Chains A and B, each alone.
Chain A
């Protein structure tokens, strides 16, 4: 299973990437998209919305089910990925490129509190048993 080493992860299967401009991109992991199956609908948070860590802020729906997406850290929404509206399947095809929203983090060090790739791999493994 692919878990990029340069990202941070949550227990609820989001990934977070610190971008060069200081923003943080958020998406769902390969494992999450595999569990959900073919994606058909994505709802991203409105720009300017202030989120606390762990807040429900987006929705992905596969043919099978709807699933909430939680913000990994606190911050303000800078952008939602509008491209996903017409092509939700890109989450299945390349989950780490298909970011759902970008945050301006309240405190970028909050990322340090998330799991790294090794810890996330262990978390996925533990949920499988």
Chain B
């Protein structure tokens, strides 16, 4: 039996095509994935991301606990509401999950973790809590639904849908969050566009969704979410990284703070492991579509595509690929597409940001 979000009935009403996503019945599209993609790049779309799990860590010493728990440096969070993207590693340096941490107060940090990782994340955090900070509380917030409103018109349409949000959220910078009554409004997202991720109590979610619909925000499925995040050069857990690779193998060195005395879980392993792989962007030069797990042949050895797709914005195919260190932007590589070697250029990513093609 698949789990359902509080918005399940709204998806059925909108004739969504629903699929099993990490044990959740989720919309893959509402008709056309490509149209939904363009709508987010050009206007404003919304995604039900209630399958993702908010987790509240509360108590004195939460910051010290997070200093140890995650690979990015929690001390970068000094102003209320500020968010930080980070990986949580195991001792061997592999990625348990990637997540966002919001700093709400010294005794309240909110994490948002992936749906498919939620159970193991909670178990992992619980083990660490017992060991390091038994007085803290870790509370999964399954009572909250989450809607991502994304696109250049996301802000004005959110203000229209929810009177009162404008006053509190308008001045908010990207990567910050604010509590508005029972709502938690964060200026974050997974599309490369301006936008918000809003958490509301489960029972309020269908009303909020309806208000957004009436404000002209188009429902978008996880299909468009995937092509949008790939164009934006954002990693997807389970494809671009997992427990078998480190953040350094996965284009996430920028999220790991190795500096100073701070010890975090996985730091020792990261300092010792050879860094011989890297994540690069690829743009297909021949005809076809790059897909995950296709082999990549380079002058320095083989690699593998971790995420690949047709890019609706670029009207071509792009991918993230794990290849040997030493391969550089401007190099040409070959990709095995169903038995044929096709040429691809190594390019900088993100491929698209704020509606504009960058490659």
- Interface of A with B (CB < 8 Å)? 37-38, 40-41, 43, 59, 61, 63-66, 85, 92
Q: Which residues of B contact A63 (CB under 8 A)?
A: 33-34, 223, 227, 309-310, 312
Query: Which residues of A lie under 8 Å from residue B223 when comparing CB positions?
Result: 37, 63-64
Known: A37-B33, A59-B338, A64-B223. 12 other contacts (CB 8 A): A37-B28, A37-B32, A38-B32, A38-B33, A40-B310, A61-B289, A61-B310, A63-B33, A63-B227, A63-B309, A63-B310, A66-B338
Q: Are A64 and B33 in contact (CB under 8 A)?
A: yes
A37 proximity list for chain B (CB < 8 A): 28-29, 32-33, 223
- Chain A residues near B288: list those with CB within 8 A: 41, 43, 61
Nearest CB on A from B179, distance (A): 37
Interface size of B by Cβ–Cβ distance < 8 Å?
A: 15
Cβ–Cβ < 8 Å partners of B309 in chain A: 63
Whether the Cβ atoms of B33 and A66 lie closer than 8 Å is: no
Contact of B310 with A41 in the complex, beta carbons under 8 Å: yes
Residues of B contacting A38 in the complex (Cβ-Cβ under 8 angstroms): 32-34
Alpha-carbon gap, A59 to B338, bound state (A): 10
Please name the 5 residue pairs, one residue from A and one from B, whose CB atoms are nearest each other, closest first: A40-B310, A38-B34, A61-B289, A63-B310, A63-B33
**26 contacting pairs across A/B (C-beta < 8 A):** A37-B28, A37-B32, A37-B223, A38-B33, A40-B34, A40-B289, A41-B288, A41-B310, A43-B287, A43-B288, A59-B338, A61-B288, A61-B289, A63-B33, A63-B34, A63-B227, A63-B312, A64-B28, A64-B33, A64-B223, A65-B291, A66-B289, A66-B291, A66-B338, A85-B287, A92-B32
In the complex, the chain B residue whose C-beta lies closest to that of A34 is: B17
B33 and A41 contacting across the interface, CB-CB below 8 Å:
no
* Contact partners of A43 in chain B: CB under 8 A: 287-288
Rounded to whole Å, the gap between the CB of A3 and the closest CB of chain B is 20
* Distance between A31 CB and nearest chain B CB, rounded to angstroms: 13
B window 213-255: CB within 8 A of A: 223, 227
With the chains together, A68 CA to B29 CA distance in Å? 22
A92 to B32, CA, bound (A): 10
CB neighbours of A40 from chain B (8 A): 34, 289, 310
List the A side residues contacting B34 at CB < 8 Å: 38, 40, 63
Whole-angstrom distance between the Cβ of B18 and the nearest chain A Cβ? 14
* Assembled-state Cα–Cα distance A69/B43 (Å): 36
A65 vs B291: C-alpha distance when bound (angstroms): 8
With CB as the reference atom, state the residue of chain A lying closest to B34. Answer: A38
In the assembled complex, the Cα of A64 lies from the Cα of B21 at a distance in Å of 14
Q: Determine the residue in chain B with the shortest Cβ distance to A61.
A: B289
Interchain nearest-CB distance for B288 vs A (Å): 6
Instruction: Provide the residues of chain A in CB contact with B287, threshold 8 Å.
Output: 41, 43, 85
B289–A41 contact, CB under 8 A? yes
Complex-state Cα separation, A77 to B338, whole angstroms: 21
User: Which of A61, A63, A92: most chain B Cβ within 10 A?
Assistant: A63
**B310 nearest CB neighbor, chain A only:** A40
Q: Kindly state the separation between the CA atoms of A49 and B90 in the bound complex, as whole angstroms.
A: 54
